[in-house]
Amino acid sequence: MGASNPVDAWHLSDDPKVTIAAENIRLRYTVQRSERRSPLRRSSRSSVTGPVLRGVSLAAREGEMVGLVGLNGSGKSSLLRVLAGLQPATSGTVVASAQPQLLGVSAALVPDLSGEDNIWLGTLAMGMSPDDAYFAKERIEQLAGLGDAIRQPMRTYSSGMGARLRFAISVAADPEILMIDEALATGDASFGERSKEAMHDLITRAGTVFLVSHAAKTIEEMCTRALWLDRGLLVADGPAEEVAALYRYYAHSLAQNKTDAAAGAIARAQDSFPPIALGAEEQ
């Protein structure tokens, strides 16, 4: 396989390059039904399938901070998992300029090891040499800001502390594409400020950040662009402030059972900020 792009050709130019592109991603889930599960009779009736993503196309370029909004179950996390290559899509293509680093809500890395040892292990896992890892360690500890808790086993950490540590490790690796799935929601205010700085630093160095958050306000404040997912379809793709504001109005209307107002908000978003829907059109 010929490596056609020399490493040095990559630079932050005036016209930013595309870092990740996805075309017509479809994803169906298949769950084995719990009752009458016999391996000998695995007929089509014994499993349930349903669509999660129904043809999503998008592209992001360097220097962008993309927020994903949508109700629970609209497919935000699934989309990130597919974009990161962790979950193969049922159909569709994802291409990227680098391996995306996904930061999700998950358990401790190695629960019995201390935070320090987990930093060491994580940085080495990403391919740092021991020298680099040694210098990165201090930066990570500072960014995570866990104090003395860094020396305690990670299984004693609260979910917020675990998220901080994992975020700090991921950012220290300087990924070109970072995807954050609700992981920052558990952090406190002081950490929110520091993580915001770290992410801005990342995108000024030609990175792309994807951020999933249920709080549309976070998206409004932090992102440059927002995608609105509704039941597996991309509804809107536009400036973060406006899309997120429309989404907030939509969610607010739903909460008060004003379905007409909610439908109006969706329609307005769709009209004003249509997503690029090349592959997904009429398919």
Residues that bind other proteins (CB under 8 A): 1, 3-5, 7, 9-10, 15-18, 20-21, 23-24, 57, 59, 61, 81, 83-88, 93-104, 106-110, 112-113, 117, 120-122, 124-133, 153, 166, 169-170, 173-176, 276, 278-279
66: helix, strand or coil: strand
Across the beta sheet with 233-239, the strand order is 101-103, 177-181, 208-212, 65-69, 225-230, 233-239
The packing angle between helices 115-125 and 159-172, to 10°, is 40
DSSP one-letter string for 150-183: GGSBGGG--HHHHHHHHHHHHHHT--SEEEEEST
CA dist., res. 48 & res. 26, Å (int): 17
Selection from 57, 60, 56, 93 nearest residue 75 by Cα: 56
Q: How far is the CB of 170 from other proteins (least distance, A)?
A: 8
Nearer to other proteins, 99 or 259 (CB): 99
Q: How far is the CB of 257 from other proteins (least distance, A)?
A: 34
Q: How far is the CB of 197 from other proteins (least distance, A)?
A: 19
Q: How far is the CB of 239 from other proteins (least distance, A)?
A: 16
Nearer to other proteins, 89 or 216 (CB): 89
Nearer to other proteins, 89 or 229 (CB): 89
DSSP one-letter string for 94-137: EEESS--EEE-S---SSTTSBHHHHHHHHHHHTT--HHHHHHHH
Nearer to other proteins, 109 or 265 (CB): 109
Nearer to other proteins, 166 or 194 (CB): 166
* Cα–Cα distance list, 178 to 38, 74, 160, 167, 185 (Å): 41, 21, 19, 10, 16
Rounded to 5 degrees, φ, ψ at 177 are: -125, 115
Nearer to other proteins, 17 or 217 (CB): 17
Q: How far is the CB of 166 from other proteins (least distance, A)?
A: 6
Q: How far is the CB of 84 from other proteins (least distance, A)?
A: 7
